[in-house]
Structure 1
Amino acid sequence: MKIIRSNNPQELGVTAGQDAAALINQAIHEEGQANVILATGTSQFETLRELITADIDWSKVVMFHLDEYIGLPVTHPASFRKYLKERFLQEVSPLKAAYLIDGETDPEAEIARLAALIQAHPIDVALVGVGENGHLAFNDPPADFTTKAPYLVVNLDDACRQQQANEGWFATAADVPAQAISMSVHQIMLSKQIICSVPGERKARAVKNSLEQPVSNLFPASILQQHPHCTFYLDTAAAALLA
């Protein structure tokens, strides 16, 4: 695991986005296509802004994403499908495939559909973030580190729901759906390369726990310590509490 520090979110996004592009192009060169995971949320704004400017043959890229609320319409401002359509898919040339999580259909059927798809597309590059409560995707503490299922239904804890409201995606925490479909920790860890972008003072405690605490499902993103090719991209504020 590596840590790359930047002065601010914009600088972080440039570095993380350029490194992600290089890894995607490497996979295309070596394998003929690249299978990627994209994260969403405010922490990913700058990284995705840089990534969409990269010289990549997107027709050779297959995209998955980490999570989606159950029961939230795709038209809702907080929908992660809407986020990716507007901030990524509409900004690049058509991908080979983009497999979005549909939280408006039967969750178990959707989980089965996505599991079959991702098992047929080993992930080359995963872009992830860390929640204020240390979650990885929507795997809130105590996260399930044992399941081998690629996706699962998760209950969102109070801290997670409050973060979504604080970031302006919902009016109040009570408006945040109670459940989501999330990629599992195990599936994320199967990625060949992981780029973890974490800007902002609000994430400083979670960053410290993720990097300095022993690996524990109470600090879900701490599992990334065990990944052989994971890089944390932090700005000064997010790294402020590190020893």
Structure 2
Amino acid sequence: MSFFSYIKYSMKTNQILAMNSLTVQIHEDKYAVSAEAAKITQNYLTEILHKRNEVTILLATGDSQIKFLEILTNIKEIDWSRINFLHLDEYLDIDKKHPASFRTYLHEKVEKHIKAKSFQYLFGDSLEPLQECNRYSKLLKKRQIDICFLGIGANGHLAFNEPQIENFNDFDLVKIVELNIKTRSSQVYQKHFESIDKVPKYALTVTIPMILSAKKILCLALGENKAKIVKVMLRENISSKCPSSFLREHPNAVLLLDKYSASLL
């Protein structure tokens, strides 16, 4: 099925809900979700680029983004030369050539397929990680984030902002966090690492306040393994127990689900 037929398909089958300020779309499968997310992004970028010379995107990684980024980077009508890219997180002390590095992921799935205005990476292998947090914070301060792409962790985290320990009034824009065992185990389950002892214990992440400062947010959650946390995110109280629940307070955020991740709603 082509990209354009998938757009038609998703538009026919989706359901649209509202949870607080959050718009929730439910589609048939990951392909329909990805096509719709690409369509929304293309329309939004086109609208902004009619008004301004450039746009800034904050990128996510993870399995939920793969098909979406593939479709998006193949849309020739988008003027990528006017778009700046940053990304959300990176493991601490991981080499950029490591297959699980998010820099590798984004280079392979985004950067090498387009000619962007700029592409700024978060360096997890910096010898001075606190200075790296400061450097990246300054980059973020220089730009208004026009659109942020997100996935949802199995424990409800956004980027690497873990449940309960996250300070949702954080003054930091980027910080070092300790990853909990559920997050690290999921990386082994998804075959990004051979064993739990190979998964880094710490990461650098853009914080929740910085994420929520984006003018628009698109969050994708796919598959049956995300059904429980999606239910918690949407049905329980907004709290640090589920960081993704804070998306319900954003004035221009869309959560895109397939029928599997939405199965418990």
TM range (shorter): over 0.9
Unaligned 5+ runs, structure 1: none
Number of corresponding residues: 241
> What letter corresponds to residue 98 of structure 1 in structure 2?
F
1:217 is matched with 240
Structure 1 CA distance, aligned partners of 2:100 and 2:91? 9
Instruction: State the secondary structure of the residue aligned to 2:260.
Output: coil
> Cα distance, 1:46 vs. partner?
1.4
> What letter corresponds to residue 183 of structure 2 in structure 1?
C
Structure 1 CA distance, aligned partners of 2:58 and 2:234? 22
CA displacement 1:159-189 (0-9 Å, x = unmatched): 0001111111001122110000000000000
Within-5 A mapping of 1:80-229: 80-92=102-114, 94-105=115-126, 106-142=128-164, 143-229=166-252
1:57 is matched with 79
> What letter corresponds to residue 97 of structure 1 in structure 2?
S
> Cα distance, 1:25 vs. partner?
2.1
> What letter corresponds to residue 85 of structure 2 in structure 1?
M
Instruction: State the secondary structure of the residue aligned to 1:47.
Output: helix
> Cα distance, 1:157 vs. partner?
0.2
Structure 2 CA distance, aligned partners of 1:129 and 1:43? 6
Structure 1 CA distance, aligned partners of 2:55 and 2:117? 10
Give the TM-score of the pair, scaled to structure 1.
Answer: 0.97
Structure 1 CA distance, aligned partners of 2:226 and 2:233? 10
Is 2:37 aligned against 1:16? yes
CA displacement 1:76-123 (0-9 Å, x = unmatched): 11000000000110111x211111100010111111111111111100
Query: Identity over aligned residues, as a percent?
Result: 32
Q: 8 Å contact 1:47–1:197 — kept in the other structure? A: no
Unaligned 5+ runs, structure 2: 1-21
> Cα distance, 1:128 vs. partner?
0.5
> Cα distance, 1:148 vs. partner?
2.1
Instruction: State the secondary structure of the residue aligned to 2:113.
Output: coil
Give the TM-score of the pair, scaled to structure 2.
Answer: 0.89
The alignment's C-alpha RMSD in Å is 0.9
> What letter corresponds to residue 221 of structure 1 in structure 2?
S
Instruction: State the secondary structure of the residue aligned to 1:232.
Output: strand
> Cα distance, 1:212 vs. partner?
1.3
Instruction: State the secondary structure of the residue aligned to 2:50.
Output: helix
Structure 1 CA distance, aligned partners of 2:230 and 2:134? 32
> What letter corresponds to residue 46 of structure 1 in structure 2?
K
Structure 2 CA distance, aligned partners of 1:201 and 1:185? 25
Structure 2 CA distance, aligned partners of 1:52 and 1:141? 32
2:3 is matched with none
Structure 2 CA distance, aligned partners of 1:26 and 1:172? 45
